Structure 1
C-alpha cells in the first residue's frame, strides 16, 4: 500500500519537474562537429572522459583530431573502468581542476558517461560526488557538457542519471537530477563499427530493457510510450543485423537512434526490477550492466506478465511479432517469446557463473529495497520471489 501511494505521489511530481531533451546531432561523421558545438556552448578547454581501450583502438583520436583542427586545448582523462567508483570520480574531478578545464566531453559507453556526469556535478557543486548520491542534490547547471556514445545501449546521452559504485560496500548508487542531461548528444554510428558482436548484443538488449521497462511502468505517458515503442521497433528490426554484420552502418545508425529514444523514455518513466537486480550483480560481481539486463529481462517479463499483458501486446506489434488479428493475450505471449528468441539469436548466456547461492539472500534484499517506492513496477516482488528468481540463474 505504501509503495502504491508513494508511486502515485511521485507520478504527479514527475509531471512538474521539467527534464531537458539534449540537442541531438546524429549521422555518419557527426563527431567532426564537436569543436563547433563546444564553442557554441561556451566551452574553451574540455576534460575528455573516456577509457584506455577507446584510446588504444583509435576511437578517441576521432575526437582529439576534431579538437586539434580547431586549435582547442583539452585534457584527456582515460582512466575510466567499468562501474566507475567514487575514488575514480574524485580523481577525475581533481584532473578537471588541476588542468583548468571548463567543460566536459564524455566519450564511450555507460561507464564513461556516468563518470563524466559525476565529475561535472562534483565540479559545479565543488563537493565530492559521494555527497550528491540521491535525488535532486545537484540542482545547478553543469559546465558545457557533450556526450558522444560509442555503444548503442545505455542511452546515458539522454538521461538524468549517473550510476556510481562504492567499492567498499560493493554497491551501486545513483545520482539523479535533471541537470545531468547533457546539453548535446553527438551520435555517430561510425564510432560503433568496431564493436565486438558480444558487446553489440548486450548493449542492444540494454536499450531494449530501457524501452520495455519504461513502457510497462506506472509512470509511462503517451510521450514516453511513443519513444519506447519506436525504440522496440528499431531494435527488433536492426539488432540482429548489427550483431551478424558489425560493418552494417545503417543497422548501427538505427540502433544508435533506438538507444537514444529508449534513454529519453526511461529517464522520464523510470525503470523496474531488471535494473534493480542488475545493479546488484554489477556491484557484487562486476557483471557488465548490459549483460545483466539481457539475462534478467525474460525472467522479469514472465514475472510481470498478468499485470502488463496489455502493454506487452502493444510492444509485440511494434516488434513485428504480432498483428491485429491476435488476441491481447496471444500477442503478449508472442512478445515474451520474441524477447527470449532474440536472446538466443544473440547468444546471450542463460545465467551468471559468478553468482553464489550464499549471496542470494543479500542480493535479493538489496534489489527489492532499491525498487520499493522508487520504481513504478507493474507488479511488486517480495524478497522470497526475488531469491527464487536468482536461484534459477545460478550456473554450475
Structure 2
C-alpha cells in the first residue's frame, strides 16, 4: 500500500511539474565579469544593494573588487558577512532585518552554496515579511523577489540556477527546503577567476556534489529529454575537467568548465529532482556538520550500486554517451563501466570512503529521517527501506 501511494504521488507530480514554468537565470560567463554587476543593477534601476557573503571571503579579499566597482558607480551597498555553512533560521532572520533596516532594493550573493541559499532565504523572507521557517515546503513565496545576482565561488551546488534554498533548523538538528520558481536568481554570473586557488578538497567535494545532481536527476522518474541533456552536459564537463581543476587550481579553463557543469547540473535537478544520496547527506550535514559535497561524495557509489538493477539501462546509456565503453558491449558490461569510472574519479581526487564522525548509535535516527525526507518527495528509481538505509550507513561509518 505504501509503495503504491508513493508511485501515485510521484506520477502525479511528474505531470504537475510539466505545468510549472521554472525560469533559467540570465547567464554571464567568463573571467573578469564582475564589472558587469554595476551595469546590471543600474539597468534595473537599483541603487542600494544587500551584499551576501561570508567572513572567509571577506578575509581573502575576494569581495573587494566588487565593492570598488559599486563605489565607482555610486551604488550604495551594505555587506552582510555573517553567513555560516548550512545557514540557519537565525542567520536568515538577521539578514532580513539588515536588508530591511537599510532599505535595500537588490541582492548580490557572492560565495558558495550556503551564501547563495542564505541570500535566497533573506530575499524570500523580505518579500513575504515572514520568518523563513513559515515558508518551508512548496510554493509558499509566489512573489517576485528583489533583483538578485548570484556569483558562485565554488562549482558544485548549482544554487545559482535552482528554485531551492536549503535551511538548517539548529534546534531540531534538521534541514528543510524552501522551494519556489521565484527563488531562481535573475542572473548567474560565472567567473572562473573567483574560483582560482580554491582548496583541492573543496574543489573535489563540490565537484562531486554537481556530479551527484547530474546523475540523480538523470535516473529520476521525473527526468525528461531536456533534463537528461542538462545532466549529460554536466557529466561530460565534470569527468573531463574535475581532475584538472583538482590537480592545478590555477587552470582557468578547467575552473570555467566546472562552473558550467555546476550550472547545468543545477538546471537538471531543479526540474527532475534528486534522490537518496541527498536525503542521507542532508541528515549528516544537520547532525555532524559534514560538508554537503563530502557527504554526497562518500555516499554516491553506494547508492548507485543500490539502484543498479532498476536503472542498469541508464548506466549503460551514460557509459556509451560519455565514451567510457564501446556501444557494442553488453548492457551489464556497459553499466559496470559507468560505475567503475565514477569510483575511479573519486579515487583520483582523494574522496574518503568513510565518515569519521558517524556514530553507529545515530544511524537508526539518520535512516528514519532520510527515508522520510525522500518518501513522496524524491522520484527515486528504486525505493529504499530504513533497514537498507541503515546498512549503507554502517558501510560508511569508520567506527
TM range (shorter): over 0.9
Q: 2:126 aligns with which of 123, 129, 142?
A: 123
CA RMSD across the alignment = 0.8
Counterpart Cα distance in 1 of 2:321 and 2:288: 34
Instruction: Report Cα offsets for 1:362-394 as digits up to 9, x if no partner.
Output: 000000000000100000001000000000111
Q: 2:61 aligns with which of 58, 63, 66?
A: 58
Instruction: Report Cα offsets for 1:218-248 as digits up to 9, x if no partner.
Output: 0000000000001000000000000000000
The alpha carbon displacement at 1:44 in A equals 1.6
Matched, 1:351 2:351: no
Residue 67 (structure 1) aligns with: 70
Matched, 1:361 2:360: no
Instruction: Report Cα offsets for 1:123-168 as digits up to 9, x if no partner.
Output: 0101111110111000000000010000110000000000000000
Residue 205 (structure 1) aligns with: 208
Counterpart Cα distance in 2 of 1:2 and 1:385: 20
The alpha carbon displacement at 1:101 in A equals 0.6
Residue 388 (structure 1) aligns with: 391
* Count of aligned pairs between the two proteins: 396
Unaligned runs of 5+ in 1: none
> CA contact under 8 A between 1:217 and 1:376: conserved in structure 2?
yes
Residue 11 (structure 2) aligns with: 8
Q: TM-score, normalised by structure 2?
A: 0.98
Counterpart Cα distance in 1 of 2:52 and 2:346: 31
* Secondary structure of residue in 2 paired with 1:87: helix
Counterpart Cα distance in 2 of 1:135 and 1:381: 24
Matched, 1:23 2:26: yes
* Secondary structure of residue in 1 paired with 2:383: coil
Counterpart Cα distance in 2 of 1:86 and 1:222: 37
> CA contact under 8 A between 1:49 and 1:106: conserved in structure 2?
yes
Instruction: Report Cα offsets for 1:46-78 as digits up to 9, x if no partner.
Output: 111110001111111122122122111100000
> CA contact under 8 A between 1:33 and 1:66: conserved in structure 2?
no
Counterpart Cα distance in 1 of 2:398 and 2:44: 50
What pairs with 1:79-94 in structure 2 (closer than 5 Å)? Answer: 79-94=82-97
Q: 1:109 aligns with which of 108, 112, 131?
A: 112
The alpha carbon displacement at 1:348 in A equals 0.4
* Secondary structure of residue in 2 paired with 1:31: coil
> CA contact under 8 A between 1:21 and 1:264: conserved in structure 2?
yes
Counterpart Cα distance in 1 of 2:111 and 2:329: 41
What pairs with 1:370-389 in structure 2 (closer than 5 Å)? Answer: 370-389=373-392
Counterpart Cα distance in 2 of 1:303 and 1:107: 37
